Copies of this chain bind each other. A is one copy, B any other.
Amino acid sequence: MNKENSLGIVNLQYAEFAQTADALELESGQKLGPITIAYETYGQLNPEKSNAVLILHAFSGDAHAAGYYEGEEKPGWWDDMIGPGKAFDTNKYFVICSNVIGGCRGSTGPASINPITNKLYALTFPIITVVDMVKAQKKLIESLGIKKLLNVCGGSMGGMQALQWVALYPEMVASAIPIATTLKHSPQQIAFDEVGRQAVMADPNWRQGNYYEYTQPERGLAVARMIGHITYMSDESMETKFSRRLKDEAYSFSFASDFEVEGYLRYRGDSFVKRFDANSYLYITRAMDYFDLSDGKLFLEPEKVKTKFLVIAFTSDWLYPLYQSKKIVRALKHNHIDVASCEIKSTYGHDAFLLEVKEQSRLISHFLKGVYQNGK
Residues of A within 8 A of B (CB): 27-30, 126-127, 184-188, 190-192, 194-195, 197-199, 201-204, 219-220, 222-223, 226-227, 229-230, 233, 235, 238-239, 241-244, 251, 253-255, 257, 259-262, 265-266, 269, 282, 286, 289-290, 292, 318, 321
A319's nearest neighbour on chain B, judged by CB, is B235
Using A198-B269, A230-B188, A243-B187 as known contacts, say yes or no to A282 and B261 having CB atoms under 8 A apart.
no
Complexed CA–CA distance, A339 and B73 (Å): 56
Which chain B residue has the least Cβ–Cβ distance from A282? B255
Chain B residues with Cβ under 8 A from A186's Cβ?
235, 238-239, 244
Q: Which residues of B contact A254 (CB under 8 A)?
A: 127
8 Å CB contact of A190 from B195, B262, B292:
B262
Asked if B289 and A259 make an inter-chain contact with CB atoms under 8 angstroms apart, the answer reads yes
**Which of B27, B30, B188, B202 lies in contact with A219, CB distance below 8 A?**
B202
CB-based nearest B residue for A198: B223
Complex CA distance for A188 and B230, rounded to whole angstroms: 7
B282:A195 contact, CB within 8 angstroms: no
* Known contacts A253-B28, A262-B190: A223-B244 contact under CB 8 Å: no
- Residues B195 and A259 in contact, CB atoms below 8 Å apart: no
Kindly identify which residue among B230, B235, B266 contacts A321, using a CB–CB cutoff of 8 Å: B235
Q: 9 A-B pairs, CB-CB below 8 angstroms? A: A126-B253, A190-B244, A190-B259, A190-B262, A192-B230, A194-B257, A198-B223, A202-B220, A227-B227
Q: Is the interface of A mostly helix, strand, loop or mixed?
A: helix
Q: Shortest CB–CB separation between residue A356 and chain B, in angstroms?
A: 20
- Docked pose: A269 CA to B219 CA in angstroms: 19
Cβ of A261: which chain B residues have Cβ within 8 Å of it?
187, 190-191, 194
Known A185-B244, A187-B261; 18 more pairs at CB < 8 Å: A187-B244, A188-B239, A190-B244, A190-B259, A190-B261, A191-B229, A191-B262, A194-B257, A194-B259, A194-B266, A195-B227, A198-B222, A198-B226, A199-B223, A201-B255, A202-B203, A202-B220, A255-B282
Considering the complex, give the chain B residue whose CB is closest to the CB of A26.
Answer: B253
Find the B residue at minimum CB distance from A201.
B255
The interface residues of chain B lying within 8 Å CB-to-CB of A251 are 28, 290
Which residue of B is nearest A238, CB measured? Answer: B187
Smallest CB separation, A124 vs chain B (Å): 12
Choose from B190, B197, B242, B266 the contact partner of A255 (Cβ within 8 Å).
B197
> CA–CA, A242 to B184, complex, Å?
14
Q: Once bound together, how far apart are the Cα atoms of A30 and B252, in whole Å? A: 12
A289 to B269, CA, bound (A): 20
Give which listed residue, B226, B253, B286, contacts A195 with CB less than 8 A. Answer: B226
Q: Inside 8 A of A233's CB, which chain B residues have their CB?
A: 188
Q: Are A198 and B242 in contact (CB under 8 A)?
A: no
In chain B, what residue has the closest Cβ to A242? B187
- How many angstroms from the CA of A241 to the CA of B186 in the assembled complex? 12
